[in-house]
Amino acid sequence: MLSLLLVGCLTPLPFGNPTSSTSSPNSSTSPVSPSTSVTPPPAFESSSQPSLETSDQGSTATPSALPSQLEPKEVAQGTPGKNRIALTFDAGAGRGYIDQILETLVRNKVPATFFVTGAWAEDNPEDVKRISQLGFRIGNHTQTHPYLTGLSDEEIRNEFHSLEQKVVELTGRSTRPLFRPPYGDRDERVLEIAASEGYWSIYWTIDSLDWQEGHDPQWVKERILSRLEDGAIILCHIASPYTYLVLDELIQSIREMGFTFVPIEEFLK
C-alpha cells in the first residue's frame, strides 16, 4: 500500500473521480529549438522589469536536479506558520487572458506556476516561451487532459512524456517535478507512475471555481479570500472571464491580510 505524503495536510484528500470542488474540463506549430531567441512583447521589455517576489531564498528558477524517480507525494498545502501563499493557473481551454494575467503578475512582482496541457502548448507556443522567459514555472498538466485513473500505465506515461517534450523544446526547461492531475482525478497508481517519471502531484487548497458559468469577478475574488489560509495553493484558470479582472485587487487584498506570495517550490522543501 502506498504511503502518501501530504505536505501541510493532516487528512489525505479523496482520490478518484472529481467532486464539485475540482476543476472543469478543458476544451481545447512547430516546435522551436530551446536556443531560439525570442523577444518578449512590449509590456515586458523594460530593462527595469522588477524581479518576482520570493521568500526564504525561494526562486522561480527550475529547482536543482532531482532524482528521475521520486517517492510518491501529493502537495495540497504548504506547511503553515510562514504566512505563504502559492498562486497557480491551469491552461488548457483556449488562449484565454494570458496577456492580462502575465502583465498583472509582473507588475505586482508575484510568482506563479502555470500548468499547461500539450494541446495548449501546441496552440500557443509563443505564450509558453514567454511564461518561461518571464521567470514563471511551467508544470505538467498532461498532453490531452484526460481522466488519468481510466488510462493504462503506458498511456499515463505517454501523457507526461508528450507534454514534457513540447515544453522542453520550447523553453529548454523541464516541467519536473510539478504535475497537476486533470479534473483532480488521481489515485495511488497514478501518483506512483507520476513519481516514477519524476513528478509530484500539485493539488490545491482553494479551487476558485472561476471556470464555472454564472458567477462574476467579485464572486470569484470573495470565494478565494473567504477560504484563504496559511500555506494555501490557489487554483485559477487563464481562460476564466472573471479572474483576470480582479487579479490585481486579489493580490493587494491577500498582501493586506499579511500573506506573501511564493513559488510553489517553497512548498516542496
188: domain CATH number? 3.20.20.370
pTM of the predicted protein model:
0.79
- Mean pLDDT across the chain, nearest whole number? 81
Domain that holds residue 206: 77-267
Task: Tell me, rounded to whole angstroms, the distance of Cα 10 from its chain centroid.
Answer: 22
Per-residue pLDDT, averaged over 183-190, amounts to 97
Indicate whether 229 belongs to any domain: yes
Of 90, 127, 185, 207, the catalytic one is 90
Cell numbers describing residue 50: 522588477
Torsion sign across C-alpha atoms 22, 225, 11, 237: positive
Cell numbers describing residue 214: 454564472
Has residue 177 got a pLDDT over 90?
yes
Indicate whether 96 belongs to any domain: yes
Indicate whether 133 belongs to any domain: yes
Q: Does residue 141 have an active-site annotation?
A: no
Indicate whether 186 belongs to any domain: yes
Indicate whether 176 belongs to any domain: yes
Has residue 26 got a pLDDT over 70?
no
Buried/exposed code over 15-29 (b: 16+ C-beta within 10 A; e: otherwise): beebeeebbbebeee
Q: Where are the beta strands (DSSP E) in the chain?
A: 5-7, 73-75, 84-91, 113-116, 137-140, 178-179, 200-202, 206-207, 233-237, 260-261
State the total domains in the chain. Answer: 1
Q: Does residue 237 have an active-site annotation?
A: yes
Indicate whether 15 belongs to any domain: no
Of 123, 210, 237, 248, the catalytic one is 237
pLDDT at 66: 57
Q: How far apart are CA 16 and CA 92, in angstroms?
A: 21
Has residue 65 got a pLDDT over 80?
no
Indicate whether 240 belongs to any domain: yes
Q: How far apart are CA 77 and CA 132, in angstroms?
A: 24
Indicate whether 27 belongs to any domain: no
Buried/exposed code over 219-242 (b: 16+ C-beta within 10 A; e: otherwise): bbbebbeeebebbbbbbbbbbbbb
Model confidence at 7, pLDDT cuts 50, 70, 90, reads very low
In terms of Cβ atoms closer than 10 Å to its own Cβ (0-12, 13-18, 19+), residue 57 is exposed
| Cis peptide bond N-terminal to 40, omega within 30 | no
